[in-house]
Amino acid sequence: MAEKKPLTDSQRRIVLKALGIAPLASAGLFMNLSLSGCSDSTSPSDDSIELKVADEPGLGNIDGFVRRTYGSNNNGNPIIILKTDIDTYRCISVGCPKNCEKKSPAPALGNPSNKEIICETCPMKAKYSVDEKSFGNVLESGPSQTLREFPVTYNASTGTIKIDF
Ligand code: FES
């Protein structure tokens, strides 16, 4: 009888995808969920990315932003990185936390404007603050969770930001 070998990451992803839980297809998170029972963690990946602020014109000024997809991080959905103050950066998923329309793809936030961001693709048009003082709070459209943030670390000496997913 053949010896059982542990699954590789890509094999594990295929199995998780077949089970309908592909967004959780990171070995670390899978282990985490296994150990912590019914966690409702929203972290889709245990990866991180780094980028140089000087290479991103969108992050040159306060209230500037970059909207981009980074591989399979955030389930392959875009993130929005914002410069909210001097040497202060935030990162959110474009997925609207209100999630009132249960359809695929999930309703998405538009681009930030006037320190606010609106769920553009849902008729409820939830509005959230992206002002550093009240970041993520719901401004309109009834109760909802705050924006879904990913931790950002800024290294002033290298001018880089690191985003953990
Ligand atoms: S899903 Fe965003 S307001 Fe409905």
Going through the chain in order, the beta strands assigned E by DSSP cover 48-52, 65-68, 79-85, 88-93, 116-118, 127-129, 138-140, 149-150, 152-155, 160-164
Q: Domain limits of the chain?
A: 1-41, 48-164
Query: Mind listing the pLDDT tens digit for each residue in 94-106?
Result: 999 998 877 777 7
- The pLDDT score that the predictor gives to residue 45 is 53
Return mean pLDDT, the chain: 79
| Domain 48-164 of CATH type 3.50.50.60 | no
Looking at the CA of residue 101, tell me the nearest atom of ligand 1. Answer: 1
Of the pLDDT bands very low, low, confident and very high (cuts 50, 70, 90), residue 141 is confident
Residue owning the nearest CA to atom 1 of ligand 1 = 99
Percent of the chain surpassing pLDDT 90: 58
**Is the whole model's pTM more than 0.85, yes or no?**
no
How far apart are alpha carbons 164 and 117 in whole angstroms? Answer: 22
Within 6 A (CB) of ligand 1 lie 96, 98-101, 107, 119, 122, 124-126, 141
How many angstroms is it from 139 CA to the middle of ligand 1? 13
- Cβ atoms of residues 101 and 122 within 8 Å: yes
Query: Mind listing the pLDDT tens digit for each residue in 24-81?
Result: 333 333 333 333 333 333 444 568 999 999 999 999 999 999 999 999 999 999 999 9
